[in-house]
Amino acid sequence: MKKAVSITVNGKTHTSEIEPRLLLVHFLRDALGLTGTHVGCETSICGACTVLLDGQSVKSCTMFAVQADGLSVTTIEGLAANGALHPVQEGFWECHGLQCGYCTPGMIMSSAQLVDRNPNPTDEEIRHGLEGNLCRCTGYQNIVEAVKYAANKTLAASGD
Q: How far is the CB of 159 from ligand FES (least distance, A)?
A: 33
Q: Which of 65, 102, 114, 150 binds ligand FES (CB under 6 A)?
A: 102
Count of residues touching ligand FES (by CB under 6 A): 23
Q: Do strands 72-74 and 56-59 pair parallel, antiparallel, or not at all (unpaired)?
A: unpaired
Which of 35, 30, 34, 1 has the alpha carbon at shortest distance from 18?
Answer: 1
Residues in contact with 151: Cβ distance below 8 Å, sequence separation at least 6, in sequence order: 87, 115, 118, 119, 120, 121
The answer to whether 41 and 48 are in contact (CB under 8 A) is yes
In what order do the strands lie in the sheet containing 50-53? 12-18, 3-9, 72-74, 50-53, 56-59
Residue 139 binds ligand FES, judged by CB under 6 A: yes
Q: How far is the CB of 50 from ligand FES (least distance, A)?
A: 7
Residue 137 binds ligand FES, judged by CB under 6 A: yes
Distance CA 159, CA 58 (A): 30
Pick out residues in 24-83 that bind ligand FES (CB under 6 A). Answer: 39-42, 44-49, 59, 61
Distance CA 91, CA 132 (A): 20
Options 71-79, 119-127, 135-143, 152-160: segment touching ligand FES (CB under 6 A) = 135-143
Q: How far is the CB of 13 from ligand FES (least distance, A)?
A: 24
Q: How far is the CB of 15 from ligand FES (least distance, A)?
A: 25
Binding interface with ligand FES (CB under 6 A)? 39-42, 44-49, 59, 61, 98-104, 135-137, 139
